[in-house]
Amino acid sequence: MKYFAGIDIGSTAIKISIADENRELVGYKISASGSMFYKYAQETLGSLLKELDIKEEDIVYTVATGYGRKLFKEADENISEITANAIGARAAAKEYGEIKTIINIGGQDSKAISLDNDGNVVNFAMNDRCAAGTGKFLDVVALKLEMDTSELAEHHFKADGTPLSINSTCAVFAESEIIGLLGNNHAVEDIVSGVHYSIAKRIVKLVKRVGVKENIYFDGGPALNKGLVNAIENELGKKVFVPAYPQITTSFGAAIMGAESYQYESKG
């Protein structure tokens, strides 16, 4: 069996997916990007192959994507994360239906991508200013509230009443705003849901720039946060589909691209 590796070196996390000849996902691994993108990506790949019992030489084509993609010198090809995200989203949602709009929230940016009927990218909008509405924003909030980012959702669903309004667009200013809210005795759950709704409002603006076309799909690490998913659905007034492994779909898309390129080159 031949295998294809997709390496997504993101601002916050390295995601590696392995696809087989049928373009099915056979395994994945996530690790922190840290300060040494290339070294950590190599190590992550090595330990994933060991776990899957796949030999290095059975990886016949590697595609790198994400911020740090150009650093991964062994890659046969590198592609933009927008292309990889579109390919991965379609594959991850194939049981759900045709995806026309992708919302991706990463560690340091957020994107809305519009696809045509064939899954080609026709338009996209990106927000990468001051970590507004990104995973970093959520990580800063969670740290201040003394919880893990993965615990934000359970607090979100405990909130009742109108979510608090959080106006800061910068992660740094948001922290001081939250200190102010805590000082005014606001409940943690109301602050958490306020943060989710402030991110959701910003994302909805981004989606409107490319056009709200169903089906709508949401991925990236923050899509693991069901509280944020709930806030986005309420702000959009529409259901969004979140795949089983939302953080790795861009790397899966890169692996699928690898299989396509390899098969194309082998025929040529």
Chain residues binding ligand ADP by CB under 6 A are 10-13, 106-108, 135-136, 138-139, 149-150, 220-222, 224-225, 247
Cβ closest to ligand ADP, residue 54 vs residue 232? 232
Q: How far is the CB of 195 from ligand ADP (least distance, A)?
A: 12
Rounded Cα distance, 137 and 34, in Å:
17
The answer to whether 218 and 212 are in contact (CB under 8 A) is no
Q: How far is the CB of 1 from ligand ADP (least distance, A)?
A: 28
Q: How far is the CB of 187 from ligand ADP (least distance, A)?
A: 21
Cβ closest to ligand ADP, residue 197 vs residue 262? 197
93 Cβ partners below 8 Å, 6+ apart? 99, 215, 217, 241, 243
Rounded Cα distance, 214 and 238, in Å:
9
Q: Please report which residue ranges of 111-210 form alpha helices under DSSP H.
A: 135-144, 152-156, 171-183, 188-210
Residue with the CB atom nearest ligand ADP in the bound state: 221
Q: How far is the CB of 13 from ligand ADP (least distance, A)?
A: 4
Q: How far is the CB of 10 from ligand ADP (least distance, A)?
A: 2
30 Cβ partners below 8 Å, 6+ apart? 13, 14, 15, 16, 247, 248
Cβ closest to ligand ADP, residue 4 vs residue 28? 28
Write out the H or E segment, with its range, that includes residue 14: strand 13-19
Cβ closest to ligand ADP, residue 133 vs residue 135? 135
Bridge partners (DSSP) listed for residue 105: 110
Q: How far is the CB of 119 from ligand ADP (least distance, A)?
A: 21
Other Cβ atoms closer than 10 A to 97: 11
Cβ closest to ligand ADP, residue 34 vs residue 180? 34
Backbone angles phi, psi at 247, to 5 degrees: -80, -20
Q: How far is the CB of 182 from ligand ADP (least distance, A)?
A: 20
Cβ closest to ligand ADP, residue 10 vs residue 258? 10
The answer to whether 108 and 253 are in contact (CB under 8 A) is no
Cβ closest to ligand ADP, residue 56 vs residue 148? 148
Structure tokens at 52: 């899957």
